[in-house]
Amino acid sequence: MLKSSTCIAAALTAVIATSAAAEGELNLYSSRHYDTDERLYSDFEDATGIKINRIEGKADELIARMEAEGANSPADILLTVDTSRLERAKNAGVLQSIDSAVLEERIPSNLQDSDNEWFGFSQRARILFYDKNDVSEPPQTYAELADPKYKGMVCIRSSSNVYSQTILAAIIEHAGADAAKEWAEGVVANFARDPQGGDTDQLRGIVSGECDISMSNTYYFARAIRKDVEGVSADREMIGWVFPDQGGNGAHVNLSGGGVAAHAPNKENAIMFLEYLASDQAQQYFSAGNDEYPTVEGVALSESVAALGDYQADAVDLSAVAKNVPDAQKIFNEVGWK
């Protein structure tokens, strides 16, 4: 049975305001590259008195560094984006299981590791965008993206990108490897160009007329609503979007999340920081500052995110999806998805 919202609020207030914990430091290894996260860190420091020391870099580099440092690692927290990277960190042995009633109550079970080694704190749905001028019947499901009627129309990211890997891994989890391979072959046949660029480049491809349909994480388009994004914002009225598989499995979501380092010298402060990230205050900032969907239910969305609309999310266990990533990469190689 879930605690009442009053109890949860009281618990979180205690987490970030207790004077007993208002000391020490926190060593944060982060691959999140968003300037807006500065507010998250400064608010935590102001509320607790705990000083955050940051080391930033690419996720794989940070994980390798933690492995090399071993028991002497100063890392208390690893923050990164994408479920597969969180699972990679777990498999590398650089995270530890923690007990936190606050995180268990706040973070849905399918958005956290089954062994409590990592937790998701923000979501980005991976959805379909299309040219409203040229596409009268856009695909309504991920499966339809492989329909031959969309031949020569699809722009999408490369197979080496973790976003591509996790969505194919989710299809494997739902439908099996054979169906996933058939889908990947169909999408390759529908390419408008070889996979290239980031998510914003897929949206720019629609504006430029290079493609009619693309796939991107929601926060890239929401950002173009909130502020000027070159090559997208000025022409965003021509772009429509579809949250796929509504009424079915639901739209695929990916996570930004983190966990406590295996040899954290400041473990209590690390748990306190993760619990802070699950507070309404921090969750609202994930939405307002980086156009992401909160993982905590009931937290208000920023205007740019709300403009995309509500949706049914895929409730698949993302830790199970992450385990399928090696098989997904094998399929990509077999079907020639560059």
Torsion sign over Cα 110, 15, 20, 80: positive
pTM, two decimals, is 0.85
CA distance 231 to 88: 34
pLDDT, residue 35, reads 67
pLDDT, residue 290, reads 84
Q: For the chain, what are the domain ranges?
A: 5-123+255-308, 124-251+319-335
Average pLDDT of each block of 10 consecutive residues along the chain (338 residues)?
A: 38 44 83 78 93 94 97 97 90 97 95 95 95 97 97 97 93 97 98 96 97 96 95 96 96 94 97 96 86 91 92 90 94 96
pLDDT, residue 106, reads 96
Which homologous superfamily does the CATH classification assign to the domain defined by 5-123+255-308? Answer: Periplasmic binding protein-like II (3.40.190.10)
Per CATH, 5-123+255-308 and 124-251+319-335 having the same topology is answered: yes
Q: Report, in this order, helix, strand and coil percent for the chain, each rounded to 5.
A: 50, 15, 35
The tokens for 12 are 């979180």
CATH number of 124-251+319-335: 3.40.190.10
Q: Where are the alpha helices (DSSP H) in the chain?
A: 5-17, 37-48, 59-69, 83-91, 101-106, 162-175, 177-189, 199-208, 218-226, 267-277, 280-290, 303-306, 318-322, 325-335
pLDDT, residue 81, reads 87
The tokens for 51 are 């000083």
pLDDT, residue 6, reads 40
pLDDT, residue 34, reads 67
Q: What is the DSSP letter of 302?
A: P
